[in-house]
Structure 1
Amino acid sequence: MLVVDDERDIADLYSTWLAEEYEVRTAYGPHEALDQADEAVDIVFLDRQMPEMNGDEVLEALRERRLECRVVMVTAVDPDFDIVEMAFDDYLTKPVMLDDLHGAADRMLDRESYDERMQEFFSLASKKATLEAEKDFVELQDSEEYEQLESEVEHLREEADQTVSDLSEAEDFETLFQEFPGDA
């Protein structure tokens, strides 16, 4: 895990909290974060507002490297519709407490076992929930970005439902086949 925040006290606090259960690296700025990010890092907790290079740019650099890490934006910036296009997995708005960090870490580790489409679904669903918590109904209804996000989430949900249905039917067939092996 890598905690990135230009405010040393916050970075150290988050790292201390997470170190209770996880192996943690700490970076006090964007360049240090990029130096420390490698294949061993499974989750990055990334501050969005940093001098020199903001968290959005660090996120972009991480994704360009094709690192297989989950990224949780941790920021005091209230989310806007620009988050729809960002390649993060979850979004926490400061102040962030111990349970928030541990909950996000657990969710990200659980998602590692999911296929790419399910990871995409949860990332988009997180963005949708973040926007719904921060924006009023009229703002959401007037946003093309939100409408597209809503459509993508629904499409992925339908795909997942179909996969579950297909698996269920296959399991039913397998059970039937086991009950009547001579008939097949």
Structure 2
Amino acid sequence: MSPDQSTVLVVDDERDVADLYAMWLQDDYRVRSAYEGEQALDVLDESVDVVLLDRRMPGQSGDEVLEEIRERDIDCRVVMVTAVKPDFDILEMGFDDYLVKPVSREDLQGTVEQMLTRVDYSGQLQEYFSLVSKKAVLEAEKDPEALEATEEYRELRSDIEVLRKDVEDIRAQLNDHEDFVGAFQDL
């Protein structure tokens, strides 16, 4: 997913903080801002790729917004960006990353980039496995000469090879074991 096609939703009840995060990201992404939980859920749709979500907000808390996002089955990455120090309660929460305020521009931008890389890897890996499965089914049912004689099979093999290289390139971009595991959790 290229950054210019990606949408980030910044949710923080402190307008100055939300606006600062939006400013930091606006050159690379389409950015939406919401200043309360209910407003965030109103503007959230399938076009949002990453949500930066404060936990402690009046009205609907970030925890409740996160729960609603997951109940709606919206396919986006959620990063909790909060002053709330993590405790064991986070084990049951469905977020993808957790940043404790104050957050630097570099940390925020790097985290958004990592979340988008996970999305890319997950989608391409699913497509790769789908094509490999189709190839295996054909190879189990057809003799090798018949397969080699068809343009569709040769294209399938070529597509698998290109996608395999793309998946390996994206995997190399994942910074650490946690990013790699995060990408597989998305599957």
User: TM above 0.5, one fold?
Assistant: yes
Is 1:15 aligned to residue 38 of structure 2? no
Number of residues of Structure 1 aligned to a counterpart in Structure 2: 125
The structure 1 segments of at least 4 consecutive aligned residues displaced by more than 3 Å after TM superposition are none
CA distance in 1 between counterparts of 2:122 and 2:29 reads 23
- Give the aligned partner of residue 88 of structure 1: 95
TM-score by structure 2 length? 0.62
* CA distance 1:101–1:89, change in 2 (3 Å): same
What TM-score comes out, normalization by structure 1 length?
0.63
- Which one of the candidate residues 58, 71, 91 is aligned to 1:64? 71
Provide the aligned C-alpha RMSD in A. 2.4
Cα distance in 2 for partners of 1:48, 1:101 equals 16
> Equivalents in 2 of 1:114, 1:95: separation in Å?
29
Aligned-residue offset at 1:115: 3.3
Paired position in structure 1 for 2:119:
112
Give the residue type in structure 2 aligned to 1:32.
Q
SS in 1 for 2:46: coil
Structure 2 stretches lacking a partner, 5+ long:
1-7, 126-174
- What CA deviation, in whole Å up to 9, does each residue of 1:107-129 have, x standing for no partner? 0000002339x9xxx9x948xxx
Equivalent of 2:57 in 50, 54, 57: 50
The percentage of aligned residue pairs carrying the same residue is 58
Unaligned runs of 5+ in 1: 127-155, 161-184
